[in-house]
Amino acid sequence: MSRRFRMRSLLMRRAGWQLAGLGLMMLSLIAGIGLLALSGWFITASALAGLGLIAALDIFTPGAGIRLAAITRTLSRYGERLVTHEATFRLLEDLRAEVLSRLLNHDEMFLKGLRRGDTLSRLTADVDILDHLYLGVTGPTVAAVALSLLAVVLLGLIDPWLALLTAGTLLVLNPLTVSSTRRLGRAPSQALTQALPDLRSMSAAGLEGLNELRALDRTSDYADRINEQSIRVVDLTRRLGALDALGQALVLLTGMIALWLALVLGLLIFAENQISAPVLGLVVLAVLGLNEAWLPLPMAWRKLSQCQSAVERINTLSEDPAALPRPECPELWPEKTSIRIDAVTFRYQPHQSPVLENLDLDIKAGQTVVVTGPSGYGKSSLALLVMRQVDPEQGRVLIGETDVRHLDPDDLRHRIGYLPQHPVLFRDTLAANLRLADPEADEYRLTRALERVGLGDFLADLPGGLDTWLEESGANVSGGQRRRIALVRLMLSDPDIVILDEPFESLDGDSARQVTAALDDWLTGRTALIISHATEILPSHDRVISMTVKEAFE
Amino acid sequence: MRDTPATDPDPELTSKTGQRAWLDSQAPTWLRPASFVLALGEAIVIIAQAGLIAWCLHAAIVLDTPIAALWSALWGLLGVLILRAGFNGLRGLVSAHASASVRRDLRKQLFDHLCQVGAERLRPMGTGELVTQLNDHVEALDAYYARFKPQMASALVIPGGIVVVVASQNWLAGLLLALTAPLIPLFMALVGMGAEQLSRNQHQALARLAGVFHDRLHGLDTIRRFGAEAREQSRIAEFSRSFRQRTMAVLRLAFLSSAVLEFFAAVAIAMLAIYIGLGLLGYIEFGPVATLSLGSGLFILLLAPEFFAPLRTLAQHWHDRAGALAAAESIRPLLELPPARGLSTRKVAPDTNRPLSVSVSALGFAWPDRTMVLQDLDLDIRAGEHVLITGPSGCGKSTLISLLAGFISADRGRIELGSIDQAGLESPDLARLRAWLGQTPVLFPGTIADNIALGREQASQSDIERAADLCRVSEFTARLPRGLDTPVGQDGFGFSGGQAQRIALARALLEPRPLLLLDEPTSALDIDSERMIWRAIRRANEKTPMTVIAASHSPLARQWADRVFQMENGRLVEIEE
């Protein structure tokens, strides 16, 4: 089954809101046109009646019509804006839920790939940009086309040529303008999607590495490079701005030509006595009013390409197949959770040299084993293999007596507790972050758990206590506190196997000792693999394994 | 204890008037006159258009003029209509150009200034935030110069011109338009005042919602491990819903301002139409009814929507203005940050061949709003010595290294390199004297070789290879298919912290300097990587002897150093080993 996001089906889900918005949009346009057209009719008829050229005129009906149009115009515009915004926000709500649930189907390596670079930020922005699709493109386009078609029909009742040459001109030339400005805008838009992130990463590196640059007196060179890239970006946006101006001027020109044709043809038909003077006034002002519906379209459609690439990017996300095959008939989670690594060779990329070569390792159920060694020697890949986020090239990884490839991936996720090297905390309250592991935990339990790893003072200092909001990437939390909060979160869950990747990094001696004490307690009865480059402070363990060359020496 | 009282931010920097004045001062000087001239042209064309249409209809309907006699007027009208589209397009082109020049100049000025301010002061602000300010906030000014400012001119000139012309035809109709006009900005201001404040909050709410969502995507793995998929999905839905409800409450109010405008426009057109119609019928005697004809009536009616159109467009661009004001508020304080190091006055040609002695006397330094970090610090280091400075984190070790490197200047005291006053050295001379290695290596977009050379074109390929060998970079690049030409960064190969630091060391040692400054060079590394770094420094010293000052609390560094100093209360105490 195709997992593509279908914009149409998403749009349909809020069909009621969408249609209400569209209806109000058209109503306000019709009221605007009606106001002008009726006024034109009324003034012309009044002038003729005043001169005695036509018989007495009923002034109440048109007067009431004009007032009604004025009020309708005001109210429907207000209502339209409220309803379309409401519809858009609901649509975005659906879209976020959709993206989240689709991504939850992918395996860990794929998600890790997402985290590289700015893919995730772009995805977040992509969802937000899609609000433009309905608000700026679909609604106004449908309204403009429908109204122009309505005008063709109504003017066709008066004279087919008048209908074709006025509203018809709008219906032919405006889409032409819209599609060609959109086509012309595609190349610079495309270039901009590359140029802007490049500028961002260049300036990020420049600001991070200011001292590197200053130490070597390269600052002004680098500033020049950034300026060149900035000129590239600004120039692309200038071209897009100019294109928008051009599109708008062309749509205006088309409207003006339609107006002129309406006047000329109207005068000709009037001269042949096929229409009355008030109708002539009505036609000219109606065509003038029709123009309003088309003016916002060129820019809206030019921005549509941004929406499309957003949809495409979201689509590619959901299309990728799972990297690791799921077992067709997964085996039950083993009773005894020993870990055995059996002659495993592993490399990340086919062209790279192996990170692990012919590695053997045995951890009995309930044992704690510490793996130490310098960076780049495959300590972390060991963790990935046990959790089956990657598969070995040769050899087997067994939990109990079962190959992890035959276990249910969801069991592997839920029964193995993992503290990654860079744990993720969410922008949310401290309590909500902790309750991720145990939604039932009460405040007392959370407080106790924090105190046990030495975060008692930290909690006491927080202005809102457990309800304090944790900021972006823990801006109000230090690296060590962050790691300990993630550890507390893990310790609120009840896994059979525990893997801790550098649990003591960025902890000072006292905090590290508190953490080890808390761990001693919690790790009892669980099988644990602790990865650490520091060996001075460790919780009580059964063995230390040092990985120096590409195999383990005990 | 605070050393200096926290100063209140300059009101000029935070007030809206201040932001507006600043935004206007950034615009090219020709933008305002050009906008006004174009708006004037547009006003004339709009009035001519209405006049010609009204006259043609009047002539055909009332005067029974045959269409053959109207052709010259009709062709003239066509010309006017084309001119109108032309003016509109031209205004768009001119303002896009103006906006581009503002953004280009401002970004350059801003980045140059940030370089002057220096890493030490910028770090607490967060690189992510600065990158947003430098890129997204500068881009956010586009709409202000490309749309809002030119529309401001149109909203003044076009309705003004129309009122004058309409009043000359019929003073009562002119008065009606003139009366609604000041009411509109008044109402808009009243509604806008509240809405703008609220919309700023809403902007924050949107950013927060995007952040909340982004975090969940980032932590999908974590969510799944705790089996919290359903809970987190409903949490996101909850955030989205409360965001929508709050936003809609803001919008209900904010849209009132455009509704007010819409109301006045519609009612004014209706009132004019009914007044003109009744006047033409002879039902009312009030005002200058006698002069009304079909031509003047239609002329006034045609101009009425044109009177309101520029105001309506301006209201649509009002949020561009709010966005630009917010951007200005975030950018301007950056431009006000003081430079880290005053410009030097004296030019000295230092001797770059031999190791330097370093002499520091009575050095004092404090970060703004913080207690003194260094107090009366003295330090004498002989040429060629290897000195270690230790102490708990936050004691000022890094600050001392930054002062010695000349990244920041001291509040008091003096630093002499050899016998030269360091404060008097210009950046290129300083760069010839000292090399520097920081705690977290920064790799720039480009290849590994590019990162070692860092734009120093005089460095040959063999120099780069030699530095790469010395710092054991070659050890891991040999395993890469493209070796030293492997690109780093987003799409390139990811390096471990130890590997990146070796690249950074190769960069610092590519051209050996008489003084090497090390700022916690190994605090993020494992023991083997750390050993590798200290050995590389030792080997480099064997080739070219140099004075080395390192801030570090690593035990390995103690073995490496000739002398060790402990930083205590802003002073250095030598530890006898």
B575 contacts B564 by C-beta, under 8 angstroms? yes
Residues pairing with B420 in the sheet: B417
CA dihedral (A462, A464, A465, A466) positive or negative? negative
Does the pLDDT at position A147 exceed 90? yes
Closest residue by Cα to residue A329 from A435, A225, A406: A406
Pick the residue from chain B with its C-alpha nearest to A389: B221
B347 contacts B429 by C-beta, under 8 angstroms? yes
Closest CA of chain B from A10, distance in Å: 16
Q: What is the pLDDT of residue B73?
A: 94
Higher pLDDT, B489 or B161: B161
Pick the residue from chain A with its C-alpha nearest to B215: A426
Question: Which residues in chain B are closer than 8 Å to A244, comparing Cβ atoms?
Answer: 92, 96
**Beta-carbon neighbour count of residue B286 at 10 Å?**
9
| Interchain CB distance below 8 Å, A234 and B103 | yes
Chain A, 291 to 330: residues with Cβ < 8 Å from chain B are none
Higher pLDDT, A525 or B354: A525
Whether A376 and chain B come into contact, CB under 8 Å, resolves to yes
User: Tens digit of pLDDT for each residue in B42-80?
Assistant: 999 999 999 999 999 999 998 989 988 999 999 999 999
Q: How confident is the model at residue B4 (pLDDT cuts 50, 70, 90)?
A: very low
Chain A, 482 to 511: residues with Cβ < 8 Å from chain B are 489, 493
Q: What is the pLDDT of residue B299?
A: 95
**Beta-carbon neighbour count of residue A352 at 10 Å?**
12
Higher pLDDT, A410 or A231: A231
Question: Which residues in chain A are closer than 8 Å to B440, comparing Cβ atoms?
Answer: 208
Rg, Å, chain B Cα set? 35
User: Tens digit of pLDDT for each residue in A13-41?
Assistant: 777 888 898 899 999 999 999 999 999 99
∠ CA B422-B424-B429, rounded to 5°: 75
H or E segment and range at residue A363:
strand A356-363
Whether A428 and chain B come into contact, CB under 8 Å, resolves to yes
Closest CA of chain A from B227, distance in Å: 7
Q: What is the pLDDT of residue A552?
A: 35
Structure tokens at B469: 């060998």
Whether A74 and chain B come into contact, CB under 8 Å, resolves to yes
| Interchain CB distance below 8 Å, A81 and B251 | yes
Question: Which residues in chain A are closer than 8 Å to B236, comparing Cβ atoms?
Answer: 96-97, 100
Residues pairing with B372 in the sheet: B366
Structure tokens at B568: 């205590």
Higher pLDDT, B362 or A52: B362
∠ CA B523-B525-B527, rounded to 5°: 105
Chain A, 384 to 413: residues with Cβ < 8 Å from chain B are 413
Pick the residue from chain A with its C-alpha nearest to B123: A208
| Interchain CB distance below 8 Å, A43 and B60 | no
CA dihedral (B338, B344, B349, B350) positive or negative? negative
Does the pLDDT at position B491 exceed 50? no
What is the 8-class DSSP label of residue B244? H
Pick the residue from chain A with its C-alpha nearest to B436: A215
Does the pLDDT at position B372 exceed 90? no
CA dihedral (A93, A96, A99, A102) positive or negative? negative
Pick the residue from chain A with its C-alpha nearest to B290: A50
User: Tens digit of pLDDT for each residue in A233-287?
Assistant: 999 999 999 999 999 999 999 999 999 999 999 999 999 988 899 999 999 999 9
What is the 8-class DSSP label of residue B544? S
What is the 8-class DSSP label of residue A512? H
Q: How confident is the model at residue B424 (pLDDT cuts 50, 70, 90)?
A: confident
Whether A252 and chain B come into contact, CB under 8 Å, resolves to yes
Does the pLDDT at position B155 exceed 70? yes
Closest CA of chain B from A101, distance in Å: 8
Higher pLDDT, A106 or A394: A394
Does the pLDDT at position B98 exceed 80? yes
Q: What is the pLDDT of residue A130?
A: 73
Does the pLDDT at position B85 exceed 90? yes
Rounded to 10 deg, the angle between the A119-129 and A60-103 helix axes is 160
B285 CB-near residues (< 8 Å, 6+ apart): none
User: Smallest Cβ distance to A230: which of B104, B128, B305?
Assistant: B104
Place of tokens 């760069």: B431
Closest residue by Cα to residue A379 from A550, A197, A160: A550
Structure tokens at A259: 């107006």
CA dihedral (A269, A275, A281, A285) positive or negative? negative
| Interchain CB distance below 8 Å, B455 and A221 | yes
Calculate the average pLDDT of chain A: 84
Closest CA of chain B from A294, distance in Å: 14
| Interchain CB distance below 8 Å, B62 and A70 | no
Tell me whether residue B291 is exposed, middle or buried, using C-beta atoms within 10 angstroms of its C-beta: 0 to 12, 13 to 18, 19 or more.
exposed
Q: What is the pLDDT of residue B576?
A: 78
Closest residue by Cα to residue B324 from B149, B117, B495: B149
Whether A202 and chain B come into contact, CB under 8 Å, resolves to yes
User: Smallest Cβ distance to B273: which of A39, A125, A219?
Assistant: A39
| Interchain CB distance below 8 Å, B498 and A46 | no
Q: How confident is the model at residue A150 (pLDDT cuts 50, 70, 90)?
A: very high
Whether A200 and chain B come into contact, CB under 8 Å, resolves to yes
Of the given ranges (B1-5, B156-160, B370-374), which has the lowest mean pLDDT? B1-5
Question: Which residues in chain B are closer than 8 Å to A390, comparing Cβ atoms?
Answer: none
A48 contacts B61 by C-beta, under 8 angstroms? yes
The stretch B108-128 carries a mean pLDDT of 85
Whether A17 and chain B come into contact, CB under 8 Å, resolves to no
- Give which of A124, A226, A377, A492 to mutate to test B binding, by max B Cβ within 10 Å: A124
Q: What is the pLDDT of residue B369?
A: 63
Question: Which residues in chain B are closer than 8 Å to A374, comparing Cβ atoms?
Answer: 498, 526-529
Higher pLDDT, B2 or B524: B524
Q: What is the pLDDT of residue B2?
A: 35
| Interchain CB distance below 8 Å, B111 and A427 | no
- Give which of A212, A500, A532 to mutate to test B binding, by max B Cβ within 10 Å: A212
Higher pLDDT, B152 or B488: B152
**Beta-carbon neighbour count of residue B555 at 10 Å?**
10
DSSP letter string over B60-109?
A: HHTS---GGGGHHHHHHHHHHHHHHHHHHHHHHHHHHHHHHHHHHHHHHH
User: Tens digit of pLDDT for each residue in A402-457?
Assistant: 999 999 888 888 899 999 888 888 888 899 999 988 888 899 999 999 999 888 88
| Interchain CB distance below 8 Å, A217 and B427 | yes
Of the given ranges (A148-157, B177-186, B228-237), which has the lowest mean pLDDT? B177-186
- Give which of A100, A200, A483 to mutate to test B binding, by max B Cβ within 10 Å: A100
Higher pLDDT, B57 or A509: B57
Q: What is the pLDDT of residue B354?
A: 80
A68 CB-near residues (< 8 Å, 6+ apart): none
- Give which of A211, A287, A410 to mutate to test B binding, by max B Cβ within 10 Å: A211
∠ CA A237-A243-A249, rounded to 5°: 140
User: Smallest Cβ distance to A245: which of B92, B118, B430?
Assistant: B92
Closest CA of chain B from A216, distance in Å: 5
DSSP letter string over A248-303?
A: HHHHHHHHHHHHHHHHHHHHHHHHTTSS-HHHHHHHHHHHHHHHHHHTTHHHHHHH
Longest dimension (CA), chain B: 115
- Give which of A39, A110, A379 to mutate to test B binding, by max B Cβ within 10 Å: A39
The SS3 of residue A339 is strand
User: Smallest Cβ distance to B490: which of A117, A196, A222?
Assistant: A117
The stretch A323-343 carries a mean pLDDT of 86
The span from the CA of A426 to the CA of A187, in Å, is 38
The span from the CA of A466 to the CA of B479, in Å, is 49
| Interchain CB distance below 8 Å, A216 and B270 | no
